[in-house]
Amino acid sequence: MASCCTQLCLQCRRLLSSQMVARTWRYSTQLGHCTTVTGLPPKILNGPTVVRGDHTVAEARQRWKQQMFCYSDFTAKHLATEAKEDKDIEELSRAVDVAYKSPLMPIRDAVPVTESQISLDLDAATEFSALEEISDEEAVRIFVPSAMPPASLSLRDYVDQSETLSKLVQLGVNLWKLEQRPNVGSMLLRLNFNTDVAPRLLFLKEIGVDDSHFGNIITRNPFILTESLENLQARVNYLKSKKFSSETVASMVSRAPYLLNFSVKRLDNRLGFFQQQLNFSASNLRNIVARLPRLLCGSLEPIKENLKVCEIEFGFKENEIQHIVLSVPKVLAANKRKLTQIFDLLHNTMEVPHHLIVKFPQVLNSKYLRIRERHLFLEYLGKAQYDPNLPNYISLDRLVSLPDEAFCTELASATLEDFHLFQKTL
């Protein structure tokens, strides 16, 4: 009995294997025939895959439907055949009365694809087509970005949408310089041209500032657009009360745009500082401030330090310092290291006495390398003589002010090519 049952089990397994192979062969053959008839590639398109080639969207949709209907038909036939064969297997198992369960389960995941699903997938595939017509409801749901970017790293992205920025560009304001400064870009975007910018520009024009200077003033000092007109007028009135002429005030504002950002009290304190440190008369003080108005806007510590250096390290007397400052106010705001280098070269290397430096103070405002190269060239030629009491005297003024060609012909009695060759040896 046991051997009989074993033989029946082996026959059932062989039968199941042969039937499954036959079913798989028939299914693949029929599906290949369907693929050949429809003319589509064997690869099935899923989801929003775009139909490639020269076919239109309508042709792709029709062929897709044909393939899926064919696939659904063969799937249904396959399931029906499988159910019938399963029934035969169950009858065979009951006939031999063997408790055996086939390990090969019927395929139940193959569900026919409906036409609505196919239509939905194709609509998703052509959702972003620019040639397809859409309804009014779909058009309303389309998201349109805001005309003005919510955030940007550059002000140029806002110029076309902001009247204030576009007008400032027309005035010559360099927005690329302003956007590098913190919080200035957002401040300009909040300003209204008619109520915030235009009144300040009219004020500048009324005090005598030329229109061509507006761009430079705002580029260097955009915060003047946030100052109240009352404060601006009060500061101009203060400068005029100190006997600065209207033309001088306009020139000072153009060359030192931050001047009008200082309160009246602060301006008065700074004028008093220079009056005390330099012991100048009112007219001399107005003279140096009018020529270098940024003295009233910058830090006072470097000015104090330079005055101490001139007095203690250089050894100039008070009246000599006054003469130097009146002649070259930039000495007050010069870099301390540069000033020390030039004086050391003039006094210790070239052996120029103090009174000659005071007589030609502009030499302290010259370039250190220019003075050194020319002195070494004259020394190489044996003509480095700066004493006015001796023959072949060379003035410090001409030494630093003449261009290279005139220096070579008039002072060094050499050619420009000789001077350039000498410079290469340094």
- Same domain membership, residue 175 and residue 220: yes
Instruction: Single out the residue in 174, 201, 226 at which a domain terminates.
Output: 226
Residue 39: predicted pLDDT: 43
367 lies in some domain: no
Q: Give the pTM.
A: 0.62
Give dist(CA 296, CA 346) in Å, integer: 30
The end-to-end CA distance of the chain, in Å, is 118
53 lies in some domain: no
- Same domain membership, residue 214 and residue 168: yes
Give dist(CA 149, CA 141) in Å, integer: 21
- Same domain membership, residue 218 and residue 157: yes
- The residues, any chain, with a CB within 8 Å of residue 56's CB and separated by 6 or more, are none
Q: Scanning the structure block, which residue is given the tokens 């699903």?
A: 117
- Same domain membership, residue 196 and residue 248: no
Q: Scanning the structure block, which residue is given the tokens 């410090």?
A: 396
SS (H, E, C) the chain: CHHHHHHHHHHHHHHHHHHHHHHHHHHHHHHHHHHHHHCCCCCCCCCCCCCCCCCCHHHHHHHHHHHHHHHHHHHHHHHHHHHHHHHHHHHHHHHHCCCCCCCCCCCCCCCCCCHHHHHHHHHHHCCCCCCCCCCHHHHHHCCCCCCCCCCCCCHHHHCCCCHHHHHHHHHCCCHHHHCCCCCHHHHHHHCCHHHHHHHHHHHHHHCCCCHHHHHHHHHHCHHHHHCCHHHHHHHHHHHHHCCCCHHHHHHHHHHCHHHHHCCHHHHHHHHHHHHHHHCCCHHHHHHHHHHCHHHHCCCCHHHHHHHHHHHHHCCCCHHHHHHHHHHCCHHHHCCHHHHHHHHHHHHHHCCCCHHHHHHCHHHHHCCHHHHHHHHHHHHHHCCCCCCCCCCCCCCHHHHHHCCHHHHHHHHHCCCHHHHHHHHHHC
Beta carbons within 10 angstroms of residue 394's beta carbon: 20
What is the count of structural domains for the chain? 2
197 lies in some domain: yes
- Same domain membership, residue 222 and residue 165: yes
**pLDDT in 10s for each residue of the chain, 426 residues:** 445 555 555 554 554 445 544 454 454 444 444 444 344 443 333 443 333 444 454 555 566 555 554 545 545 555 555 555 555 545 544 544 443 443 334 444 444 445 444 444 444 444 456 667 778 777 777 765 555 555 565 777 778 778 888 899 999 999 888 888 888 888 898 899 999 999 999 999 999 999 999 999 999 999 999 999 999 999 999 999 999 999 999 999 999 999 999 999 999 999 999 999 999 999 999 999 999 999 999 889 999 999 999 999 999 999 999 999 999 999 999 999 999 999 999 999 999 999 999 999 999 999 999 999 999 999 999 999 999 999 999 999 999 999 999 999 999 999 999 999 999 998
Q: Residue 280's domain spans which residues?
A: 243-298
206 lies in some domain: yes
264 lies in some domain: yes
Give dist(CA 348, CA 73) in Å, integer: 108
253 lies in some domain: yes
Give dist(CA 65, CA 163) in Å, integer: 56
Give dist(CA 244, CA 242) in Å, integer: 6
399 lies in some domain: no
CA 200 to each of CA 262, 263, 282: distance values in angstroms, whole numbers, following the listed order: 16, 17, 31
List, for residues 323-378, the tens digit of each pLDDT value: 999 999 999 999 999 999 999 999 999 999 999 999 999 999 999 999 999 999 99
Both tokens of 194, joined, read 């008619």
Instruction: Single out the residue in 198, 226, 254 at which a domain terminates.
Output: 226
